[in-house]
């Protein structure tokens, strides 16, 4: 079957694979890792994930590299972020060793679905933690399921690394200042669907959020973090409602390595017009460079890329991170796990 997959034309979507791995939390402890070939979960209708949003997820990719090996990027950081999310919405923490063991196992079990290096495609891992115990009152569940499934996904940039247009949406917030924006929970995505739809209908690649309280500062860029480049600086918003992106953290380190300064601070909307380059960052694209951000309310249009092309520093950061993920450049920060 894998012979017939058109790797280079895969969408970012779901395709069935052979196995997923699961682990149940019951009586205060995690059980054994189970391997399943079913795509279906059989859960209680009063499960807390269905009613009270006890649901958290992660996103990660495994790469088939030019040396033939499989590499995973900063997997322990995903485990730690899930643990932060667990503390945020009262779920038991998945230990890093369990997270890692399950990730490695599900990749090996589905090795035939890892796209070849040349295709630019990769194997996406979706770790998911849900409250499965029944509750009718608003309480955390007593039982949970942690699972990881994988699905091959196509290259993000089908026509090569390119810029996109964004639109500031003020009518909807994805998260409150002291809400769940900093946790990777499904509810934030539910809250973003309408703004995302409005942005797409208006012909933009994605919606752009200002801080929910004052509507003055840059918050998130759709489901990705924002960064801007100017005067030899990599500048990214500091906010309590932003999801701490591992890609952003990696880019900050690489920016320092390139001799840039890194600033993590509030960014007023008007500062957008001063950036030489800007991008959205996350696992899906690494960097999605920004051409223009429109504010429909104030009728302002912040044109960041004058020639419509990705800037030189964004391109350098993107190439550097991809090369580390693919084992092409040395992994000096110890980010990569090699599975052979
Ligand atoms: C997952 C996610 C990101 C990106 O995080 P990475 O660890 O870089 O993949 C950014 N913003 C939101 C809202 C997210 O859910």
Residue ID of nearest Cα to ligand 1 atom 11: 224
Any ligand 1 atom below 6 A from CB of 220:
yes
Structure tokens at 180: 């769940």
Tell me, in angstroms, the distance from the centre of ligand 1 to residue 340's CA: 28
DSSP letter string, 48-89 = HHHHS--EEE--EEEEE-TTS-EEEESHHHHHHHHHHHHHHT
Strand partners, 278: 228
Residue 25 in this model has a pLDDT that exceeds 70: yes
Radius of gyration of the chain (CA): 20
Is beta strand 34-36 parallel, antiparallel or unpaired with respect to 206-208? unpaired
Could you give the CA distance from residue 293 to residue 300 in angstroms, rounded to a whole number? Answer: 9
Any ligand 1 atom below 6 A from CB of 247:
yes
Residue indicated by tokens 């880019």: 251
- Each residue of 27-62: pLDDT tens digit? 999 999 999 999 999 999 999 999 999 999 999 999
CA distances from 331 to 4, 68, 255, 318 (A): 33, 17, 15, 15
Q: For this structure, is 184 an active site residue? A: yes
Could you give the CA distance from residue 19 to residue 241 in angstroms, rounded to a whole number? Answer: 35
pLDDT in the model for residue 3: 58
- Asked whether the beta carbons of 152 and 113 are under 8 A apart, the reply is yes
Which of 82, 173, 283 for a ligand 1 pocket mutation test, highest count of atoms within 8 Å of Cβ?
283
**255 contacts: CB under 8 Å, gap ≥ 6:** 234, 262, 313, 317
pLDDT in the model for residue 49: 98
Atom of ligand 1 nearest to the CA of 247: 8
Residue ID of nearest Cα to ligand 1 atom 13: 223
Instruction: Pick left, alpha or beta for residue 299 (phi over 0 → left; psi -120 to 50 → alpha; otherwise beta).
Output: left
DSSP letter string, 160-180 = SS--EEEEE--S--SS-TTTT
For the chain, give the percent of residues with pLDDT over 70: 99
Axis-axis angle for helices 75-88, 96-109 (nearest 10): 130
Tell me, in angstroms, the distance from the centre of ligand 1 to residue 176's CA: 17
User: Number of H helices and number of E strands within the chain?
Assistant: 6, 17
Tell me, in angstroms, the distance from the centre of ligand 1 to residue 85's CA: 13
Q: Which of 29, 184, 306, 316 is catalytic?
A: 184
Residue 1 in this model has a pLDDT that exceeds 60: no
Atom of ligand 1 nearest to the CA of 78: 7
What distance lies between CA 330 and its chain's CA centroid? 24
Could you give the CA distance from residue 195 to residue 215 in angstroms, rounded to a whole number? Answer: 15
Could you give the CA distance from residue 323 to residue 286 in angstroms, rounded to a whole number? Answer: 12
DSSP letter string, 205-247 = SEEE-B-TTTS-BB--BTTBEEEEEETTEEEEE--TTS---HH
Atom of ligand 1 nearest to the CA of 192: 13
SS3 149: strand
- Asked whether the beta carbons of 164 and 290 are under 8 A apart, the reply is yes
Residue ID of nearest Cα to ligand 1 atom 10: 224
Structure tokens at 161: 């690394």
- Each residue of 236-277: pLDDT tens digit? 999 999 999 999 999 999 999 999 999 999 999 999 999 999
C-alpha torsion angle, residues 245, 249, 255, 257 (rounded to 10): -150
Using 50, 70 and 90 to split pLDDT, how confident is the model at 71? very high
Could you give the CA distance from residue 187 to residue 55 in angstroms, rounded to a whole number? Answer: 8
What distance lies between CA 23 and its chain's CA centroid? 23
Could you give the CA distance from residue 316 to residue 254 in angstroms, rounded to a whole number? Answer: 9
Atom of ligand 1 nearest to the CA of 283: 9
Residue 2 in this model has a pLDDT that exceeds 80: no
pLDDT in the model for residue 158: 78
């Amino acid at each position: 079957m894998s012979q017939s997959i058109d790797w280079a034309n895969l969408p970012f979507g779901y395709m069935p694979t052979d196995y997923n791995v699961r682990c149940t939390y019951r009586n205060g402890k995690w059980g054994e890792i189970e391997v399943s070939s079913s795509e279906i979960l059989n859960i209680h209708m009063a499960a807390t994930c269905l009613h009270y949003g006890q649901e958290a997820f992660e996103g990660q990719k495994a790469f088939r590299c030019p040396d033939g090996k499989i590499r995973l990027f900063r997997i322990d950081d995903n485990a730690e972020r899930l643990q932060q999310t667990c503390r945020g919405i009262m779920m038991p923490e998945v230990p890093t060793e369990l997270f890692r063991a399950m990730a490695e196992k599900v990749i090996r079990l589905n090795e035939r679905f890892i796209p070849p290096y040349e295709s630019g495609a990769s194997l996406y891992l979706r770790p998911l933690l849900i409250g499965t115990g029944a509750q009718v009152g608003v309480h955390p569940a007593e039982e949970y399921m942690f699972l990881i499934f994988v699905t091959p996904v196509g290259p993000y940039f089908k026509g090569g690394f390119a810029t996109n247009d964004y639109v500031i949406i003020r009518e909807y917030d994805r998260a409150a200042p002291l809400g769940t924006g900093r946790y990777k929970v499904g509810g934030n995505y539910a809250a973003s669907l309408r703004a995302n739809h409005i942005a797409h209908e208006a012909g933009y690649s994605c919606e752009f959020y200002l801080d929910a309280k004052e509507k003055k500062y840059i918050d998130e860029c759709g489901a990705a973090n924002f960064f801007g480049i100017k005067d030899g600086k990599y500048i990214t918003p500091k906010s309590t409602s932003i999801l701490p992106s591992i890609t952003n953290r990696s880019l900050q380190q690489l920016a320092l390595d390139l001799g840039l300064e890194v600033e993590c601070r509030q960014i007023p909307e008007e500062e957008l017009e001063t950036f030489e380059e800007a991008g959205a960052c996350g696992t899906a694209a690494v960097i999605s460079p920004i051409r223009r951000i429109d504010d429909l309310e104030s009728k302002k249009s912040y044109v960041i890329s004058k020639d419509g092309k990705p800037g030189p520093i964004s391109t350098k950061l993107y190439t550097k991170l991809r090369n580390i993920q693919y084992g092409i450049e040395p992994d000096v920060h110890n980010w990569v796990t090699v599975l052979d």
